[in-house]
Every structure is written in structure tokens, then in C-alpha cells.
Amino acid sequence: MSRKKRLLIVEDEAAIRTGLVDLFIYHGFEVEWADEGPQGLEKALRGTFDLILLDVMLPGMDGFEICNQIRTQDVDQPIIMLTAKSSDEDIIQGLTLGADDYVAKPFSVTQLVLRVQAVLRRTTMDSSKSIHIQLDDQKRIDVLNLSATIDGQRHTFTKREMEILQYLHAHADRPVSRDELLNKVWGYAKKMNIETRTVDIHIAKLRRKIESDPAHPCCLVTVRGAGYRLIVL
């Protein structure tokens, strides 16, 4: 018998927290919870969880700081942030700190469960894939170490960012659509009608790291009406 997936929910609003705990227990998860920031961080660092649902606005320590501290110790821990804030600045901050996805409140519980399941289905980086991506003479990406030397500068990547680059590299002969990335990299089922800017924000983050001029990309380009394409040597 396979073990239950372990989920940590860090949410200070009692009604939402209780509803989420009940929801995921019903769906077969083993659930722990915390109702304030420091306690949530302690549990996250002490325990072993398949995924963490992390609210942004928490007493004692906000979700951004918790996410940041988790990432300093575990680059692979799946994290979905729950936020009542829907501005690009807040979403970008959470994703920049390493969250796998965000869900804005109020949310559909059905879609939340599907998105949790999608993150848990994500493929891990396969050691058989290319361990380096050479964009040009000045841009070399080290896949296994999640790092790169770009125009003489050292950069680090989240695992999700590297998964996007790997997928685009594997299909460098053609544009890859936003929906295809959601399906193949994030693991979302086709035709889920996910309302998220996660792909766009991750592409913008990657351009800031790999492009000499992010406003005029030459490596990670947009193909109008088709998606994104990685231009390699």
C-alpha cells in the first residue's frame, strides 16, 4: 500500500484553514497545519512534506520570508502560495523566491486540488538529459547545479526555471506554447482552463537571467501566436 502524500497548510484564517484541512484529508492526504508564520517555518524545516500550501499574509512572519528560508535549505520542496494579493509585484516576488505556483483568493477548491495534484506530478530532472545548455559563446547553463555563467556573471536558477529551460531546449526546433508548458512542465491536465500568469512570469524571470538585454531577447524569444522558443547554438 502506497503511503499518503503529506501536506503542510500554513494559513491563519481559521475558516479557510479548517476547510482546507478537511478538503485534503478527504482527498487522501496526511495533513499538518500551522496558523502563524514562525510555527509554519518550524514545521516546514523540521518535517518532510510532499507539498506546502503557504499563505502570504501571516502573523509573526509572512509567507515570502518563510518561502525564502525554506529555499535556502531545500531547493526541491514543492510550494504553492495562497494570496489575497493579485498584483504582479506580489506574484513575481513569490515566484522569484522559489514558489512553484500561486493561487489567488477566493479560489475554486476543485481547481486548487487539481493544481496541488499537478505540482505533485511534476517530473524530476532526468539525469539522462543534457547536463549543459550552451546558448552562445558567452552563455553556458549548468543544468545539474542549477547555475549558469552568462556574459561572465554567475546566476542561479530554481528547479522550475531549469525545467522550463530543459523543455524548451529539448524542443528548440519549434515554438512551445504556454499551454504546452503548463501541461508538460507544471503537469496540469490539458483543457483545465487554468487562469494563471505563472508561465509569463517565469519567462520574464528567465530573460532577466539569460539575456544581455531582457527587453530585447535574442535567446528566449516570443513567437507571436505560437509561444516561446529557445535559440541555441
Q: CATH 1.10.132.20: does it fit domain 132-230? A: no
| 50 burial level (CB within 10 Å; 0-12, 13-18, 19+) | middle
Residues 67, 73, 75, 79, CA torsion sign: negative
Q: CATH 3.40.710.10: does it fit domain 6-121? A: no
**Residue 30 CB contacts under 8 Å (≥ 6 apart), including other chains:** 4, 5, 6, 7
- Domain boundaries in the chain? 6-121, 132-230
0.85 surpassed by pTM? no
* pLDDT, one tens digit for every residue, the chain (233 residues): 567 899 999 999 999 999 999 999 999 999 999 999 999 999 999 988 999 999 999 999 999 999 999 988 887 789 999 987 666 677 777 787 878 888 888 888 998 998 898 888 764 444 445 578 888 878 889 888 888 988 888 899 988 899 999 999 988 889 999 988 988 888 776 656 666 788 999 999 999 999 989 999 999 999 999 999 999 86
pLDDT of residue 192: 63
pLDDT of residue 202: 93
Spatial CA neighbour of 79 closest among 197, 157, 159? 159
